[in-house]
């Protein structure tokens, strides 16, 4: 998942940074803005080491505390680094500063105060609860949230992947679904493989995958095979339902997010004990 053989000098330990490795702290470095024209940045989030998005569950009231979605591996060192295989973090207090874009690509501060859910098993996602409500963010910054889609996306869907870290967007299609994506000790289920055009790199981790022409987030960007190696770190391999493994060098991947709804209570809290919840559960 590293995406980049870094030529930058980084003073941080590997365990303190997420993979794919972002080459610098995005809050202390001036970004040379990439290809941002034509992409919708309103509600896109910049983290120090990753990208994210302000998402809202279907039916969630504007008075609710707002939610930011990024990758599980973007959690950083706060809870010992990336979640280990089988590890689940839920409903933990946190303090993390972020920045959010408005539609003119101006940046404003937001703060996460709780980890609603984080894992790198079956999926690769972190849901942060903010100190601000959706209404407060809209009234103060004129920033709307994205809608988190409730249904599984389809092969052939035109997508945009929008990175707050790089201030850049990518456009392509969903090429296929992968039964299992295996990377070192992590296994991701029913992953998305992109067609050509979404050449994501380190720092794009956690970027929302948006159905083009909408404000509907249908998945989340997370990995790529860099060197053509088999099932190693930064080189995920694909496994089908028969257990056959193939390696596709330079291919990029994302994780589906509609399954989050299976674990929501009527008050939109994440509860992994809900019957039919599809998110991974903590080991007992």
Instruction: Write the CB contacts of 28 (distance below 8 Å, at least 6 apart in sequence).
Output: none
pLDDT confidence of residue 13: 32
Q: What angle do CA 75, 188, 247 make, to 5 degrees?
A: 115
275 lies in some domain:
no
pLDDT confidence of residue 49: 93
Phi/psi for 253 (5° steps) reads: -140, 155
pLDDT confidence of residue 267: 95
pLDDT at residue 149 greater than cutoff 60 = yes
Instruction: Say yes or no: 68 and 115 in one domain.
Output: yes
pLDDT tens for 61-113 read 999 999 999 999 999 766 657 899 999 999 999 999 999 999 999 999 999 99
Tokens describing residue 268: 């939109």
- Torsion, CA 62, CA 220, CA 94, CA 182, rounded to 10: 150
> Which structural domain range is residue 192 located in?
158-258
281 lies in some domain:
no
Partners of residue 220 on adjacent β-strands: 208, 255
pLDDT tens for 203-246 read 999 999 999 999 999 999 999 998 899 999 889 999 999 999 99
pLDDT confidence of residue 18: 35
Tokens describing residue 217: 């987030």
Going from the C-alpha of 74 to that of each of 21, 135, 142, the distances in angstroms are 9, 26, 27
- Residue 269: which of 76, 91, 74, 139 has the closest Cα? 91
278 lies in some domain:
no
Domain boundary among 146, 180, 211: 146
Q: Do residues 250 and 243 lie in contact, with contact meaning Cβ atoms separated by under 8 Å?
A: no
Residue 277 falls in which region: left (phi positive, over 0), alpha (psi -120 to 50) or beta: beta
Instruction: Write the CB contacts of 242 (distance below 8 Å, at least 6 apart in sequence).
Output: none
DSSP label at residue 232: B
Tokens describing residue 255: 């994780």
What is the average pLDDT across 147-159?
98
Least confident of 20-29, 84-93, 156-165, 184-193: 20-29
Instruction: Say yes or no: 165 and 141 in one domain.
Output: no
Instruction: Say yes or no: 25 and 59 in one domain.
Output: yes
pLDDT at residue 19 greater than cutoff 90 = no
Instruction: Say yes or no: 126 and 170 in one domain.
Output: no
pLDDT confidence of residue 160: 98
What is the average pLDDT across 109-137?
97
pLDDT tens for 213-224 read 999 999 999 999
Instruction: Say yes or no: 185 and 63 in one domain.
Output: no
Strands 146-148 and 216-224: parallel
pLDDT at residue 3 greater than cutoff 50 = no
pLDDT tens for 165-184 read 999 999 999 999 999 999 99
pLDDT at residue 54 greater than cutoff 90 = yes
CATH of the domain at 132: 2.40.10
Partners of residue 118 on adjacent β-strands: 89, 126
Asked whether the whole model's pTM tops 0.75, one would answer yes
pLDDT at residue 164 greater than cutoff 50 = yes
pLDDT at residue 199 greater than cutoff 70 = yes
- How many structural domains compose the chain? 2
Least confident of 15-19, 75-79, 237-241, 248-252: 15-19
């Amino acid at each position: 998942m590293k995406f980049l053989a870094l030529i930058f000098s980084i003073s941080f330990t590997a365990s303190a940074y997420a993979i794919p490795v972002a080459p610098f702290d995005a809050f202390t470095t001036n970004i040379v803005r990439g290809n941002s024209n034509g992409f919708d940045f309103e509600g896109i989030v910049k983290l120090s080491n990753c990208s994210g998005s302000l998402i809202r569950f279907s039916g969630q009231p504007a008075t609710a505390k707002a939610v930011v979605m990024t990758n599980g591996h973007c959690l950083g060192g706060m809870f010992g680094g990336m979640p280990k295989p089988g590890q689940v973090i839920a409903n933990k207090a946190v303090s993390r500063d972020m920045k959010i874009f408005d539609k003119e690509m101006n940046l404003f501060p937001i703060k996460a105060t709780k980890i609603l859910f984080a894992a790198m098993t079956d999926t690769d996602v972190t849901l942060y609860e903010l100190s601000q409500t959706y209404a407060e963010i809209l009234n103060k910054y004129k920033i709307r949230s994205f809608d988190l889609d409730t249904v599984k996306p389809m092969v052939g869907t035109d997508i945009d992947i929008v990175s707050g870290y790089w201030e850049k967007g990518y456009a392509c299609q969903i090429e296929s679904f992968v039964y299992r994506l295996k990377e070192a000790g992590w296994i991701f289920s029913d992953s998305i493989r992109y067609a050509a055009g979404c050449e994501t790199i380190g720092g794009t981790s956690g970027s929302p995958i948006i159905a083009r022409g909408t404000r509907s987030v249908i998945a989340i960007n997370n990995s790529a095979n860099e060197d053509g190696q088999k099932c190693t770190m930064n080189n995920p391999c694909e496994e089908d339902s028969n257990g056959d493994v193939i390696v596709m060098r330079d291919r990029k991947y994302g994780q589906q997010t509609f399954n989050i709804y299976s674990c929501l209570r009527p008050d939109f809290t994440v509860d992994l004990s809900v019957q039919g919840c599809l998110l991974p559960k903590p080991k007992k």
